Structures are given as structure tokens and as C-alpha cells.
Structure 1
Amino acid sequence: MMISAILISLVLFLLSAQFLNMQWKSRGFPPGPTPFPIIGSIWWINFRADHQSLKKLAKTYGNICTLWLGHRPMMVLYGFQTVKNGLTNNSEDVSGRLQTYIFNKLADGKGILVSNGLIWKQQRHFGFGTLRKLGMGNKGMERGIQTEARYLVEFFRDKEGEAVDPSFPIVHAVSNVICAVVFGHRFSLEDKTFHQLIEAFDYIVAFGNSRFYYMCEMLPWFAEHLPGPLQKARFSRDFVCSFVRQEIKSHREKGRIDEPEDFIDFYLKQLEKTKNVPNSTFDEDNMVQSVFDLFLGGSETTATTLRWALLYMLVYPDIQDKVQKELDAVLSPSHLICYEDRKKLPYTNAVVHEILRFSSIVLITIPREVVKDTTVLGYHVPKGTLIMANVDSALFDPDYWETPHQFNPGHFLDKGGNFVTREAFLAFSAGHRACPGETMAKMELFIMFCSLLQKFKFTLPEGVKEINTDFVFGSTMKPHPYKLCAVLR
């Protein structure tokens, strides 16, 4: 009994000491909910960073406030000006990626997306330099996108106007663009392994930003031994990495490094070139994670946006009609859509940008980590602090958008009907960690969207009166499954 009382007293003392320590540390940070030992203050947003919680947080504590993820402070940025300045002023100082329990389990600081320091600089520089050699952002990549757009058109044509769920064909088309670049081949629509890869990525994306994710970050010792979402996310990640290692093995056996044809070939050549170079970060683990990152970044977000694009055409048939009238007026029916066409199609280009804004599929940026003591928006911020930017709040900021909660292509048109860019359009984030695949994503979205609307009128299946425009919450905001009819024009 005496021992139990001593243990309870010790635990209470330690919790009290941590509580007082967190209150002391909180003094220099922006205002925010009171942090408690172990759980921090993430409880205030119900362990989930969603639209309403972050809006309520900003309304209560201001556009720059502090949440505690366990014992770690996290500055939350809300609204266009706050997000932009927070990510671009002293951009290099806030360019780190968070190194937390979950991120270490799923990526171990490797690859491009969540690495830091020398690994990030070398892998990112090599990765995107190689993608440029393989055609990213130019005619080489455009031809690959046009090929997949043709397959997508053929899929809908074969359905002859019957009701169909477009989700997987879209994911298939978009993913095959990056597959051809990274692996040197595309997958058929029926390929079982491809279906398993997409299911694995879908689970990882759903796990991120979920309540389970935040709980695992706060209670890692508990998550480590509890069967459930984290174990399934790790299994999904391991499945993808196992597939990538098989692809690497196959590439090694073909021995094409003297005449590389795809990303893996180029990486194998780089491995050979740097094997005796001190401080080189090029190894098979970084290659596997880089391929994982490229596949995820080059497929998931664009495919999700294109799914929203077709859904919005069902919801706003008048806008679909205007796009098709512009396509018909400017391009011949046999014209092969290219990215350069956007300059002749201002209304269609505005619709594509409004789809990106209104769908707002990335609610928050992957949290960044302050790499050295610095100043953020007037606050002294110590090294190790996390920065969470609510990109969605910039895309719907009423101070910068005339009708933020309406789907309005006019946001990107001037009075003369010419396309205009908007400074609050932060769909691809900002600063050192802004999405490097912005051009590729816009190219894919524009070419595939226009190719489909050039050939088909998209309508609701017979008898369907209502469309669910709510999102499925996760790392990206997906639409609920839906069906449409693609009627040949």
C-alpha cells in the first residue's frame, strides 16, 4: 500500500512538474489552449486538424496561435497573409520536416518528402534534376500525359454512356504518368499489383491527419504495441517498398545504367558514380523512399483533384457548357490538347484553377520544423518548433476572394475575360517546401480535363437527383464515391 502511494505521488509530481514546465515555455509563444502533460493541447481540436476546428481555433486565439503536440509546440498559421509571411519570411529557417515517431516509422528521414539537411538537399536536387532530364515540365512529359488522357477517353467511350464510377480510371491514368517516368512502364487497368499499390497509398493518406495519427504521436509507447491503424499503415508502406525493391532488382538485371531510360536507371547510375564519395547520401534505402515519395506526390493529389473536377461539372452543368463552347470555338474536334492551349482558353484555364482552389484538397501543409532559432511573424521561435500552415484558409480568405464559398471561375478572370493569377492562390503552398511538382500537376489536370470535356458531356445517372459534395477527411480531402455518365458529344 505504501509503495503504491509513493508511486502515485511520484507520478503526480512528475505530471505537475511537466505541466508547470509547459506553462513556462508557453510564455514566449503565440496564444493558444492550455497544454497538459502527455496530450499537450491537441485535445482542443478533437485530435483532428479539420476545417471547423482550425477556424474555431483562429477565431478564439487569432490567426497565429499555438497548439502542443504532446510536449512539442506547434505554431498554427491561418489566413492568406499569415500563411504566406510565415512560410516565406526566413523561409530557410522554417524549411525542416518534422521528425516525429510516426514519420520516423514510415520514412526514417529518408527520401525527398520528409527528409532534412544533407539528405533532403542531395535527394531533392538529384530527384528533380533527373525528372527534368526525363521530360518533367516539357514536351516529353506532355506526350506521356496525352497518352494517358487518350486511354482515359477510350475507357469512357467503351462505357457508351452507362453509369460508372470514374475514381479508379482517373487514378490509373494519372499514376501511369509518373510510373512511366519512374519505372519505365505503365500498368494495365486490370493489373492486380497496381490495384494493391493504390489501396496501400489510399490507406497511408487516410491515416495521416486522422485522430489515430495524432494519438499515436502523443502515445508512441502505446501505439507500438496496439494492433490497429499504425500497424496497417506500416504494412501498406512495406508493401509499396517491397514492390519498389523488386523493380530495382529487375532494373539491375537489365543493366541499363550506361543508357538510363527511367528514374531508377538514373539512380543506379548515381549509386555507382558516388559509391566512394564521402558524405554521399545515395543508397538503396534513399532510392526506395524517393520512388515512394515521387509516386505519392505525382499521383494522389492530381488524381483526387481530377475526381473533384468531374464532380463539379455534374454540379455546375452551366460551367461545363461554357468550357465546351470555348473548346469548340478555339480548337478543332481532332485537335490534340496540349498545355500551351491554356493561353487560348482563358475561361477553361480559370475553371481549372478554381477547381484547385475550391476543392482545396490539402487542408494543411505537412508540418515544417524550425531548423534554428529564428523569428516568425514577430515571435521568437526556438529550434525544433513545428509550423502548421492552414492552406485552406488562404484559398477561402474573404479578404482576398470575392465569393470564397462559391465555385466561381471569375476569381481568375479580369473584366475583359482574360486569365489572371491571384496572390492568395496557395494551392501548392509557399516557401522552401512548396510543391516542386506544381507545373506537372497543372499540366496533367489541364490536358486530361480538356481532353475529356472535348469528347464527352458528363451527366448524372438517370434517377439521381442529389450530389454529395462533402469530402472524405484524410491527408487529402477526397470526394465521396459517385457515378456519372459520359455521353459522347
Structure 2
Amino acid sequence: MSWLVFVFVVLLVIDMVRNGRPKNFPPGPWPLPFVGNVFTGVDFITMDKLAEQYGPVFSLRRGSDRIVFISGYKMVKEALVNQLDSFADRPILPLFHVVFKGLGIGLSNGYLWKMQRKFANTHLRYFGEGKRALETYIQLESTFLCEAFKEEQGRPFNPHYTLKNAVGNIICSVVFGHRFDYSDETFQNVLRLDNDAIQLAGTARAQLYDILPGLLKHLPGPHQTIHSNYKQIMAFLQAEITRHQDDWNPDDPRDYIDTYLAEMEKRQEDPTAGFNTETLKVCTLDLIEAGTESAATTLRWALVYMMNYPEIQQKVHVEIDTVVGQSRQPNMADRPNMPYTDAVLHEIQRMGNIIPLNGLRMAAKDTMLGGYFIPKGTSLMPNLTSVLFDKNEWETPDTFNPGHFLDANGKLVRRDAFLPFSAGKRACLGEGLARMELFLFFATLMQKFHFSTLDGVSLSTEGIIGATRTPHPFQIYAEAR
């Protein structure tokens, strides 16, 4: 027993010396020996409470790693915009490193990240805004979506995976060169696997893997489901890439994969840029996942808020009927003439709060933030919820109010604290595409249908918190207008 006590005391002293709080480091709750603040919640509600107690810059310890959390528009802007070079890197997260391996666009760093992001950005512009192809894709997919809703013939239904398939088809058209029918079981299964992985990844149990990966990889738990799901998704992506390789014509690029294969040929003398089949697979996963989840979830929130606020839904109907009518589809040229619809969509994004906590950043160098010292290599988590609901930036932050984005004359107002796509060098790569998708899908659905829910049912706006914040399952009536 004496030896056990001695060993414990020695380990405790080592932990205190190794993991002691650096001088002038952000404050935070006292950590437990060895495991740190592992029992502190990882959700944005807990982060908001801790920010009230410790200020807009505070810290938690996960195992031996310290994470700095930042809250409020001013502090988030300071870190991500004013000091954009200081926090542009990503830390290694064992839970995701098993899948992404430091490759791709979202979780890579350095030269490889810059080259992959630049290539994807150029490709999206070439196949998108430059050729105006994306608007055509979205309008066509909106037609398919409306037809699918009409096929329900007034019966109540859950629109979750129909919406997700529709939105996913846009990025699939860009990446794969084709869409998937809503009855395609293979793609539907991929959407379900991804949805489950994203929800589980935001749970405390799954994030324990980041603290004890060597142990937990041998034990059951949500991390095993996440890794299994991504393994199946990767197999689906590999099959698409293989099909492209089999009939690839470098003189006639059809999509992102074709142009990437051409870039692989050009970059053979520059292996550090990462243009190879393995990176292509991870980049494809990045684009498909990012181009599907957030926009599809936003549209689900749109239906929730329109059914909860029928008077606002009616005003949107009136504006669409006035500006567009019923004889043609809405297009992007209509957007400047539809400020109320646009404001409603902005407020849906704000209140929907799809990504409550932004992806982890990492200090690329020693820096100061909010008067505190942040050593190089320290992880940093921006709390986007605290920006979208900042009491100093929004007149009625906790109320669904499209007036937040309208001036006295009913014109659309741009708000600096509207950051659903984050900010800085790691801001959402597909923001332009997402904005186009949200407007065209939303305007088309509102043009064609009046939405209501089951009698006596009140739709919750609390949301399910995973890696993203999603509505609770609900059913709708889509009544043709």
C-alpha cells in the first residue's frame, strides 16, 4: 500500500509539473489530476455559462491538452480576423485523424492545406459562378425536390433525407459530375451513415477518444461507430474515383475528380502539395460532407420556423408572388428585390445556429489574446453561438426576428456579427455555394408550398446537439399553392 501511495504521489507531482497552467494563461475551472476537465460538458450551453464566469477568454484541460475558448463577437473577430495568421492551423484530433489523416482541406495544415484549398476554390469558381452552372443545377434540383414533395399527396412526412439528398446532389454534380435519385439506396445509406457520424462526433463519450486513443481504440463505444461509418463512406468515394480513373479523358474534364486527376499528373514533381489518390479521397469527403450537412440542416430549420411563425411564412409568400409570381422559378437576379425573404433566411441561419462551436484552431505562434498569453500549439475553439446571440450586437438575440436584417425602409442590412460560416482563413470554403443553394431552394419551396405540421403538435427549436445542431425529427404537410 505504501508503494502504491508513493507511486500515485509521484505521478501526481509529474502531472502538476507537466500540466501546470502557463503564466498569464486564460483562467478556467480547476482540472482533475491526469484527466483534466473531462467531465465538463462540451456543448455550447456549458461554454456560455463558463464564459459568464471566467470571461470571453477561458480555458479547459482535456487530458494533458489545454483548449482556449473564445466568446462574443469582438473576441472572435480579434482571433479569427485581426490575428488571422495566428490561428490558421488545425490541431491533430485522434478521433478524426483515423479518417482524415491530416490530408484534405478541412483538417490539413501548411503547404498541403494551402494547395488543396486553392485548387478546390479555383475548381468551384470554374465549374460554378464562372460558368453559372451551379445556379442551373440548383434550379433543376429544386424542381425534383418539389416533385418529391408533391408525391406525398398531402400526407404528413419527414423531409429530412429528401432535403439532404437534394442539397447533396448539388455538390455531387460538381464533384462526381452526376446526381443521385432520391430512391437510390446506396446514396441514401451514405447520407444516413454521415448523419449518424456527425451527430455522434459531438458527444462527450465520442470525444473521450481524443484523450485516450491508445486505450479506447480497443474498446467499444461511439468512436467505433464513427470510424466504421466513415470506412463505408470512404469505400463509396473510392468507387466513384475508380470509375473516373477508368474512363478519364484529360482533354475533357467533367468535374472536380477529373480535374484533380489532371493536377496529379502535373504535380508529380511536387509531392508535398499532396496531389495523390489518398488525398483526393479525403478532399472529396470534405467537399461532400461540408456541401451537404449545413445547408440541408438549415433548410430543415427553415421549415420549422416557417411552421412556427405562419404570419412570417405568409409575408414570404406575398413577396415571392409579387416579385416572381407562379409562372417561373426564382433565380439569383430576384434576390435583391426580395429583401424580406432574404432577411428571413438570414434569421433562420442565425437562430438555427447550425455549427454552435466552430472547428478547433491551433496557435501557429506565441501570441496574446484578450490580455492573455497563448503559447504556440495551443488549441483554440471559437464559440459561434456567442456571436450569433451576442446581446451587444442583436436587438432581440433570443427571439426569431427578421427585422435584425432590415432597415427602416425594409432594405436588407448586412450585420458584422452574422458569422454562420465562421471567418478568417478557415472560413467555410463553400460559403458562396451555400448562400446560393439556401436562397434558391428556400424561395422555390415557399413559392410552391404552404407548410404546416400536425394538429396540436408544437415543433421544438431546442435542437439536437452533435457536431452540428439539428432539429428534432418532425413531420410536415406540404400543401401546393
Q: TM-score, normalised by structure 1?
A: 0.95
- Aligned mate of 1:39, from 35, 41, 44: 35
Q: Does 2:265 correspond to 1:265?
A: no
Q: Does 2:467 correspond to 1:470?
A: no
RMSD between aligned residues: 1.5
Moved more, 32-41 or 349-358: 32-41
Q: Which position in structure 1 is the counterpart of 2:196?
A: 203
| Cα separation, 2, equivalents of 1:275 and 1:449 | 44
| Cα separation, 2, equivalents of 1:136 and 1:17 | 56
| Cα separation, 2, equivalents of 1:8 and 1:116 | 43
| Cα separation, 1, equivalents of 2:220 and 2:249 | 43
Change (3 A) 1:214 1:278: closer
Structure 1 residue identity aligned to 2:415: R
- Aligned mate of 1:423, from 389, 413, 416: 416
Whether the aligned pair in 1 keeps the contact of 2:86 and 2:363 (CA below 8 Å) is: yes
Q: Does 2:317 correspond to 1:332?
A: no
Q: Does 2:476 correspond to 1:484?
A: yes
Structure 1 residue identity aligned to 2:365: K
Q: Does 2:9 correspond to 1:16?
A: no
Q: Which position in structure 2 is the counterpart of 1:375?
A: 368
Q: Which position in structure 2 is the counterpart of 1:79?
A: 72
| Cα separation, 1, equivalents of 2:271 and 2:165 | 40
How far did 1:5 drift?
4.4
| Cα separation, 2, equivalents of 1:349 and 1:363 | 22
| Cα separation, 1, equivalents of 2:437 and 2:275 | 30
| Cα separation, 2, equivalents of 1:449 and 1:35 | 46
Q: Does 2:146 correspond to 1:150?
A: no
| Cα separation, 1, equivalents of 2:38 and 2:70 | 15
Deviations 1:295-337 (A, max 9, x none): 0110000000000001111000000000001111111211221
| Cα separation, 2, equivalents of 1:335 and 1:350 | 22
Q: Which position in structure 2 is the counterpart of 1:50?
A: 44
| Cα separation, 2, equivalents of 1:250 and 1:323 | 44
| Cα separation, 1, equivalents of 2:399 and 2:236 | 42
| Cα separation, 1, equivalents of 2:238 and 2:445 | 35
Q: Secondary structure of the residue that 1:426 maps to in structure 2?
A: coil
Q: Which position in structure 2 is the counterpart of 1:229?
A: 222
| Cα separation, 2, equivalents of 1:88 and 1:331 | 38
Q: Which position in structure 1 is the counterpart of 2:340?
A: 347
Moved more, 204-213 or 13-22: 13-22
| Cα separation, 2, equivalents of 1:42 and 1:65 | 15
Whether the aligned pair in 2 keeps the contact of 1:469 and 1:479 (CA below 8 Å) is: yes
Structure 2 residue identity aligned to 1:190: S
Whether the aligned pair in 1 keeps the contact of 2:23 and 2:373 (CA below 8 Å) is: no
Structure 1 residue identity aligned to 2:37: S
Deviations 1:233-272 (A, max 9, x none): 1111111111111111111111222211011111111111
How far did 1:426 drift?
1.0
How far did 1:278 drift?
5.1
| Cα separation, 2, equivalents of 1:431 and 1:342 | 26
Change (3 A) 1:232 1:465: closer
Q: Does 2:19 correspond to 1:27?
A: no
Change (3 A) 1:429 1:26: same
Q: Secondary structure of the residue that 2:217 maps to in structure 1?
A: helix
| Cα separation, 2, equivalents of 1:50 and 1:185 | 37
Q: Which position in structure 2 is the counterpart of 1:132?
A: 125
Count of paired positions: 481
Structure 2 residue identity aligned to 1:419: L
| Cα separation, 2, equivalents of 1:482 and 1:387 | 35
Q: Which position in structure 1 is the counterpart of 2:286?
A: 293
Whether the aligned pair in 2 keeps the contact of 1:164 and 1:483 (CA below 8 Å) is: yes
- Aligned mate of 1:363, from 337, 351, 356: 356
Structure 2 residue identity aligned to 1:153: C
Q: Does 2:153 correspond to 1:160?
A: yes
| Cα separation, 1, equivalents of 2:129 and 2:18 | 50
| Cα separation, 2, equivalents of 1:198 and 1:268 | 25
Q: Does 2:172 correspond to 1:179?
A: yes
| Cα separation, 1, equivalents of 2:129 and 2:463 | 30
Q: Report matched runs for 1:99-114 at 5 Å.
A: 99-114=92-107
Q: Secondary structure of the residue that 1:93 maps to in structure 2?
A: coil
Q: Does 2:113 correspond to 1:116?
A: no
| Cα separation, 1, equivalents of 2:457 and 2:37 | 43
Structure 1 residue identity aligned to 2:55: G
Structure 2 residue identity aligned to 1:13: V
| Cα separation, 1, equivalents of 2:402 and 2:213 | 45
Structure 1 residue identity aligned to 2:219: L
Q: TM-score, normalised by structure 2?
A: 0.97
Change (3 A) 1:428 1:128: same
How far did 1:285 drift?
0.9
| Cα separation, 2, equivalents of 1:423 and 1:322 | 26
Whether the aligned pair in 2 keeps the contact of 1:19 and 1:36 (CA below 8 Å) is: no
Whether the aligned pair in 2 keeps the contact of 1:308 and 1:355 (CA below 8 Å) is: yes
- Aligned mate of 2:300, from 295, 307, 327: 307
| Cα separation, 1, equivalents of 2:448 and 2:224 | 44
Moved more, 121-130 or 269-278: 269-278
| Cα separation, 1, equivalents of 2:108 and 2:221 | 26
| Cα separation, 1, equivalents of 2:140 and 2:5 | 67
Percent identical across equivalent pairs?
Answer: 38
Deviations 1:39-67 (A, max 9, x none): 22242x33x2232x111101111111111
Whether the aligned pair in 1 keeps the contact of 2:104 and 2:282 (CA below 8 Å) is: yes
Q: Secondary structure of the residue that 1:91 maps to in structure 2?
A: coil
